Structure 1
Amino acid sequence: MEVIYGVNPLKEALISGGGGLTRIVIARGRSESAIREISTMAAKQGIPVEVRERAFLDELAETSSHQGVLGMCKPYRYQDLDAVIANRHPSCLHDLVLILDGITDPHNLGALLRTAHCFGVNGVLLPEHRSASVTATVIKTSAGAARYLPVARVANLARALDELKKRGFWIFGADAHATQSVSVPDYQGAVGLIMGAEGKGMRPLIRKQCDFLISIPMLGKIDSLNVSVSAGIVMHEIRRKTIWHNS
């Protein structure tokens, strides 16, 4: 079982249909409106609610910052590549799939899922190895976005890129050393965007499979951004060219 804790992550899980929740535990003495709302939503969905001592929640969550409420849920259910591609946002003319190569920090993964959801990404591809998994920490960091966005884990990321290309996708790789600015391509058509690990970037094999390499022009003395910030800049540019520019 996974543990989701905190008011907003639990509300988002309940709003999205329960998110695999099997029970909710509330710390004794917590009865403010947000907690009552969670209890009411859980009752409507037939999810049991328990009241326990705060120390019990501390032990389950392995932290004391759970805001007095947590949920036990089934492990995250991954989707397949077909489900990711099929999940095009209704406002978007073209598919956009985020591909993460070597993102091992769960907080970075959660932030990336949140950013991807906000920019109408179809879904996310993760490699089975050398990658963070979608855990309770990731779900919390994503502010619940992980419950709305299909994520696929693939055994071989290079083969998944080949499959995307067969289906008409252009593969763009974000690379700090690329000479082409992120603002140059028109991004018309289906796009697969690869973000690599901070510091290391994409693996050489994955880099070779990119149709285009793009970089974010920067003026500061520090030559790198947090990966979720970089992804947000690139995805905004893609959507600016393919949604807002054409509206």
Structure 2
Amino acid sequence: MEKQTKIFGIRAVIEAIHSGETIDKVFVQKGLKGELFLELDKLLRKHDAINTSYVPVEKLNRLSNKNHQGVVAHISPIEFHDLENLVLDTIESGKTPLFLLLDQISDVRNFGAIIRTAECTGVNGIIIQKKGGAPVNGDTIKTSAGAVFKVPICKVDHIKDAMFFLQASGIKVIAATEKTDNTLYDLSFKEPCALIMGSEGRGINPSVLKLADDRAKLPMYGDIGSLNVSVACGAFLYEIVRQRL
């Protein structure tokens, strides 16, 4: 059953953090004051892995029509996996590893669509950063058609740390980027690999891109010159499936 993914009110969020709930993101009203808020603020600073945004009250009113007291939080409906254990388990299973790294995909619908395609193409795990990306919430569940409960998802402090671990484990990291002459049809994906997809506006962070073992792009023949990230991800994943059949 889907867990409640949204809580509101300062005290409720404080209690959720103390109880160990997996909180994806906290929205806090700009300029909020008071002793209870200071208690929450101190707690959020202590748990700096919790993604926190300070927003106008209008944003909070759109998120909840309840008495939110200036604070709304998204609780993850899933338990996140440990990256090291997941990678080791995948290697030991005898499967050819295929992982997906998402460098701060911000739109929950894109995130959900990517998870759905990942499940259909046999991705062993999706790796996201703790801060800066889309939350796992009701919209993610809906657009993933429930695949969010089937594909292991790992949260890491930094995408670069995950890349180093994957590479040390014998898994080649390939970046999907237009900043290359190689198309995805020029590369072999038959060996263990991890694919990096960048954010909707910026693409892959330059500091992340330079650490990739290889780069590949989709050939473009139209005037627009770019694809929605979830569509591009699908094209890459199905080329990997084709090569591995």
Q: How does 1:151-162 map to 2 (within 5 A)?
A: 151-162=153-164
Aligned CA RMSD, in angstroms, stands at 2.3
Distance between the aligned counterparts of 1:182 and 1:102, measured in 2? 22
State the 1:102 CA deviation: 1.4
Residue 224 (structure 2) aligns with: 222
Distance between the aligned counterparts of 1:74 and 1:155, measured in 2? 17
Equivalent residue letter for 2:154:
A
Residue 209 (structure 1) aligns with: 211
Query: Are the counterparts in 1 of residues 76 and 135 from structure 2 also a CA contact under 8 Å?
Result: no
Residue 111 (structure 1) aligns with: 113
Distance between the aligned counterparts of 1:74 and 1:115, measured in 2? 20
Query: Are the counterparts in 2 of residues 175 and 215 from structure 1 also a CA contact under 8 Å?
Result: yes
Q: How many residue pairs are counted as aligned between the two chains? A: 176
Distance between the aligned counterparts of 1:237 and 1:83, measured in 2? 27
Tell me the TM-score normalised to structure 2 length: 0.67
Residue 147 (structure 2) aligns with: 145
Equivalent residue letter for 1:214:
A
Residue 123 (structure 1) aligns with: 125
**2:234 aligns with one of 232, 235, 242:** 232
1:155-210: CA deviation from partner (whole Å, max 9, x where unpaired) = 12111110000000100000023210100111132101000012311001110111
Equivalent residue letter for 2:177:
D
> What percent of counterpart residues are identical?
34
Distance between the aligned counterparts of 2:204 and 2:221, measured in 1? 23
Query: Are the counterparts in 2 of residues 103 and 197 from structure 1 also a CA contact under 8 Å?
Result: yes
2:186 counterpart of 1:184: yes
Distance between the aligned counterparts of 1:83 and 1:112, measured in 2? 23
1:39-93: CA deviation from partner (whole Å, max 9, x where unpaired) = xxxxxxxxxxxxxxxxxxxxxx979xxxxxxxxx9732111113432357x8x84
The structure-2 alpha-carbon separation of the partners of 1:186 and 1:101, relative to structure 1 and needing over 3 Å to count, comes to same
Query: Are the counterparts in 1 of residues 106 and 200 from structure 2 also a CA contact under 8 Å?
Result: no
Distance between the aligned counterparts of 2:90 and 2:119, measured in 1? 11
Equivalent residue letter for 2:107:
D
- Counterpart secondary structure, 2:231: helix
1:89-113: CA deviation from partner (whole Å, max 9, x where unpaired) = x8x8411000000101111110110
Equivalent residue letter for 1:154:
V
Tell me the TM-score normalised to structure 1 length: 0.66
Query: Are the counterparts in 1 of residues 4 and 77 from structure 2 also a CA contact under 8 Å?
Result: yes
- Counterpart secondary structure, 1:192: strand
Q: Which runs of 5+ in 1 are unaligned?
A: 5-60, 64-72
Distance between the aligned counterparts of 1:122 and 1:74, measured in 2? 20
Distance between the aligned counterparts of 2:133 and 2:127, measured in 1? 11
**1:165 aligns with one of 164, 167, 182:** 167
Query: Are the counterparts in 2 of residues 110 and 137 from structure 1 also a CA contact under 8 Å?
Result: yes
Distance between the aligned counterparts of 1:102 and 1:209, measured in 2? 16
1:136-165: CA deviation from partner (whole Å, max 9, x where unpaired) = 211111000000011000012111110000
Query: Are the counterparts in 1 of residues 128 and 159 from structure 2 also a CA contact under 8 Å?
Result: yes
The structure-2 alpha-carbon separation of the partners of 1:158 and 1:119, relative to structure 1 and needing over 3 Å to count, comes to same
- Counterpart secondary structure, 2:110: helix
Query: Are the counterparts in 1 of residues 5 and 77 from structure 2 also a CA contact under 8 Å?
Result: no
Q: How does 1:16-31 map to 2 (within 5 A)?
A: none
- Counterpart secondary structure, 1:183: helix
